[in-house]
Every structure is written in C-alpha cells, then in structure tokens.
Amino acid sequence: MTIAALVFDAYGTLYDVQSMLAKAEPLCPGKGELVTQLWRLKQLEYTWLRSLLQEYEDFWEVTRAALDFALRAAGVEPEDTVRTPLMESYLHLDPHPEAREALAALGGRKLAMLSNGTPRMLSELLANSGLDQWIETALSVDAVRAYKPHPSCYALVESALGVAKSEVLFVSSNSFDVVGAKTFGFRVAWIRRDAGGAAPTLYGMLRGRAEELGHAPDHTIPALTDLPALL
C-alpha cells in the first residue's frame, strides 16, 4: 500500500516533553523531576476527562490546570513567578535529538502534524524549533473540540491533506495515540524509545508500554530515523 502522507504526533514524538526539567528544577529545587512527570501525566488525564465530560477547554488551559495540580501536589505554590516560565517552556520544547535528521531524510514526502496543541502553540513551537521547514501542515484538535484518541481528531487528516486514511502512516510515541490512530484506520508506527534502557520512572512505565487493548501498531521502532527504512 502506498504511503501518501506521514502524520506525526507532536508532544513526546517530535518534541521531548521531559526537556522542561531543565527549567523546572531551578524553579522547584529538588522537585523538578517530580513536577515534570506529574505535569505530563495530569495533562493527558485532563484531556481525556474534558472529552468525556464534553466540557472542552483548549490545550493551553488544560496544560495550565495540570501544572497547577502538579505544583500543589509537589508542595509548590503555583505563583506566577513559577507558573509563567514553565508554561512558556511549552512553546520552546526541545525536539528529540534525531527529529531534524529524520525529517530531512523524509524530504519530498507530504509531512504533517496532528496534535492536541492549540494552533498558536503549534505554530510557535514549530517556528521556535525550526521544524517548520519540513512540517508543512499542523492540525489542531481545536477544530473538533475533542482530544485524541477521539476519532474526530484523526478524521481531520483526510480532508486537510486530501488523502485516504489507508494512505497515511501515523507516527506517535504515545501508546494511547497509537491505539486511537490504529482503530481509526491509519497505518501506525510506534516510536518506542529507550525500551528497557534507563532506570524506569512512573511516567516511562505508563507511557512507554503498549496498551493492553488489542490494537497493535504496524511497526515498532526505537527512533524517528528508522522511518525511511519502512517506506
């Protein structure tokens, strides 16, 4: 089957959400890693709750609420001197080390991004990181007011890119996203980084394992740079 487009998840796949630890630790001495992990876990939980409750708030607001939860859970008051720089860090996340090399190697193909992030968050993140030279389309779930893995989010791809779902290779490091994309009908490549490598964290154990829901990816690879070989 011909692959007409590659569609990437943003947070965790192209961008390292744990890279904000460098900002969190000076602001929350001795608690930076705890805050960073709690923040991401709660952020995802809030997207699912918002979708189920049908009380949509955009990803910037969800991220802020999750940060306030994480800070208070870690015993840090979410004052603006702490909250503001941490929130701004979401616009300056580090790409994973191999992201630029991988995208450059895929040049000439239709490359897009589908993310929970707001249009502003995605636009600034792509521009600040320089990945906008390869990612030609950034799709936000804001358009359907739901969060992945709701099917309406993945449905944005076909109309925006003019391709059939069977012609899409969806790329994500998030196992819940893999399940959603595969269930929708995309071919899916799961980026499973550091499998069995570094000392496990709660975040790693929850997000770094396949979900036990019976929807396996088509491909499991350790890095984005393994994508060209699949094509």
Which of 73, 91, 109 is the last residue before a domain boundary? 91
Number of H helices, E strands in the chain: 11, 8
One domain for residues 99 and 206: yes
Counting every residue, how long is the chain? 231
Question: Residue 76 maps to which CATH number?
Answer: 1.10.150.240
Query: How far is 92 from 177, CA to CA, in rounded Å?
Result: 22
- pTM exceeds 0.75, yes or no: yes
One domain for residues 69 and 161: no
Identified catalytic residue from 9, 16, 58, 177: 9
Q: Is 9 a catalytic residue?
A: yes
- 156-190 as b/e, with b when 16 or more CB fall inside 10 Å? bbbebbebeeebbbbbbbbbbbbbbbbebbbbbbb
Q: Does residue 204 have a pLDDT over 80?
A: no
Question: Residue 216 maps to which CATH number?
Answer: 3.40.50.1000
Q: Name the band, by pLDDT with cuts 50, 70 and 90, for residue 2.
A: confident
- At residue 192, the pLDDT reads 92
Which of 91, 117, 146 is the last residue before a domain boundary? 91
For 167-194, write each residue's pLDDT tens digit: 999 999 999 999 999 999 999 999 998 7
Quick one: average pLDDT of 44-49? 97
Q: Does residue 195 have a pLDDT over 60?
A: no
One domain for residues 70 and 146: no
Amino acid making up residue 146:
A
Q: Name the band, by pLDDT with cuts 50, 70 and 90, for residue 203.
A: low
- At residue 213, the pLDDT reads 75
One domain for residues 75 and 125: no
One domain for residues 109 and 217: yes
Query: How far is 39 from 23, CA to CA, in rounded Å?
Result: 13
For 76-113, write each residue's pLDDT tens digit: 999 999 999 999 999 999 999 999 999 999 988 999 99
Q: Does residue 200 have a pLDDT over 70?
A: no
One domain for residues 112 and 170: yes
Q: Does residue 198 have a pLDDT over 60?
A: no
* CB neighbour class for 83 (10 Å; exposed up to 12, middle 13-18, buried from 19): middle
- At residue 101, the pLDDT reads 96
Query: Which helix (H) or strand (E) is 204 found in, with range?
Result: helix 202-207
One domain for residues 150 and 218: yes
| Edge-first strand listing for the sheet containing 219-221 | 137-140, 110-115, 5-8, 168-172, 187-191, 219-221
Which of 91, 118, 147 is the last residue before a domain boundary? 91
Total domains, the chain = 2
One domain for residues 136 and 76: no
Quick one: average pLDDT of 195-204? 56
Q: Name the band, by pLDDT with cuts 50, 70 and 90, for residue 71.
A: very high
- At residue 207, the pLDDT reads 66
One domain for residues 124 and 80: no
Least confident of 16-20, 156-160, 170-174: 16-20
One domain for residues 224 and 174: yes
One domain for residues 213 and 166: yes
Both tokens of residue 112?
């897009």
Quick one: average pLDDT of 204-219? 77
Domain limits at 106? 5-16+94-230
One domain for residues 48 and 82: yes
